[in-house]
Amino acid sequence: MQHKRGIVGKALREPGYSRPAPFPYKEKEYTFWRALLDDTTQRFDENSKIIVVDGPPTGNKDKFAKELADELDMFYIPGANMDSIYVNEYGFDRRTINHKLPQIFHSVDIEDFLRNPNRRATTRLQFHLMKIRFTQYQDAINHLLNTGMLLTRKIICQ
């Protein structure tokens, strides 16, 4: 007998289905002793997967990913953007002073990259985006192991 698992949407779920309570990983530490008593695989079901939505920089990937996450009852993580790097804790956006700086010191975002991909500063953009994606992927794995649900964007995409 061969068993295959798939992904189940809200419409096809059994009536009254509910997920086990997630481990409060943001408040408590998952230590060795907790691992002995609390098995994370008990929270897994058909939808315990990381789904990656990838494609060219244009398009409605975020909208599609949100709708898919809602239909599959998963947690949505938005794609990486440079706002976390360029906007400080006071709300000031460093990109607003680009016109006062030399070209090499400009804050480059995706729109600038698409307009001129051969600028020297685009390597800095790619490095920061990869760093943000890696951090998001770590958070995604953490969330998946503690709750059993997730939908995200890809870590390795340009």
Is residue 30 domain-resident? no
Answer yes or no: pTM beyond 0.75. Answer: no
Is residue 4 domain-resident? no
Is residue 7 domain-resident? no
Supply the range of the domain harboring residue 61. Answer: 36-153
Is residue 41 domain-resident? yes
Per the CB < 8 A criterion, the answer to whether 46 and 8 are in contact is: yes
Is residue 54 domain-resident? yes
Reported as a single tens digit per residue, the pLDDT across 73-123 is: 888 888 888 888 889 889 999 889 989 988 888 888 888 888 888 888 888
Count of the separate structural domains present in the chain = 1
Is residue 52 domain-resident? yes
Is residue 116 domain-resident? yes
Instruction: Extract the tokens encoding 109.
Output: 């975002």
pLDDT for res 158: 47
Reported as a single tens digit per residue, the pLDDT across 30-89 is: 888 888 887 777 878 777 888 888 887 767 888 888 888 888 888 888 888 888 888 988
- Round to whole Å and give the CA distance between 144 and 158: 24
pLDDT for res 97: 92
Is residue 158 domain-resident? no
- Show the CA angle centred on residue 98, arms to residues 93 and 100, nearest 5°: 120
Torsion sign across C-alpha atoms 9, 19, 77, 41? negative
pLDDT for res 47: 78
Reported as a single tens digit per residue, the pLDDT across 4-20 is: 667 778 788 778 887 77
